[in-house]
Structure 1
Amino acid sequence: MNEATTLVAAARRAAENAHAPYSRFAVGAAVLLSDGSIVTGANVENASYGLSLCAETVAIATASAAGRLRDVVAIGVIGGAMDADGRASGTTPVSPCGRCRQVLNEAAQLAGIDLPVHCGAADGDAIRSYRLSTLLPDAFGPADLGID
């Protein structure tokens, strides 16, 4: 399996743990670290909607909690409407929201890379791969504050 396929598969597994009772839209994310390990995250919704967490943010926070924020190499993301069994479904690749793009940018700038972002569909083989700079051009981040 190539990087995109591996990360999208891991993101699909992560989406199985989504807590999305309000939107009924499950998202999973898988972050590849420099040593080849993968950390995952799933969206966690809250009755106070503004407190909800996106899967990408959960995965990046998990890497950070392990002291690995600067080791982020790539990310895979999937999402889709939940079916009757609570599983993400759909054949259209899902990309990170704007807030998550900014969170990803923080890790990418600290790692000194233009982060590969692999966007997959919940079902099927469709994957669209981007560089974060394409998804978030002229991003503001640590470098703008003189932090590297």
Structure 2
Amino acid sequence: MNQQDKQIVKLQSMLLSSLIQQTTLPGMSEPIQFPDILHLRNQDIIYVSSENIKADLLRESLPNLEIEILNETMLKSKAVENRDIYYLSLRKPTVTENEIRIISDLKMCPSEKNIPPLSLGAVLIIFQQNSAGEWIVNDSPSAIAM
């Protein structure tokens, strides 16, 4: 894995940890305000879609969180077996020389078999590399209502 991929995994981990634990990201003074995130936090297990992430590395970087990383088919099966499941998914990051944009979606997999996952909202975080080489959030996150 190249250095850029490692950096993306690190930033994805930081973003997921911040959303789940309601902590601040470097450069921010307050946690991200993400509507409906309480549905995710109130579950015994935090579910994350395996799409667009390196699951093993992500799991290693979030050792203190009870997370389960599954593909969307397995998330749907779990929901049908039990109850509605709320989960986070990450879109493919957009990378430029000094900027990495990551969008995280909050979705709900209904327990009804024929209903596809529903998007409840998303947040766009723009990480920028400062002169010291650190990745920080310079702008307020953009919430995207669905």
TM-score band by shorter chain is: 0.3 to 0.5
- Larger fraction in strand: 2
- Larger fraction in helix: 1
* TM-score relative to the length of structure 2: 0.32
* TM-score relative to the length of structure 1: 0.32
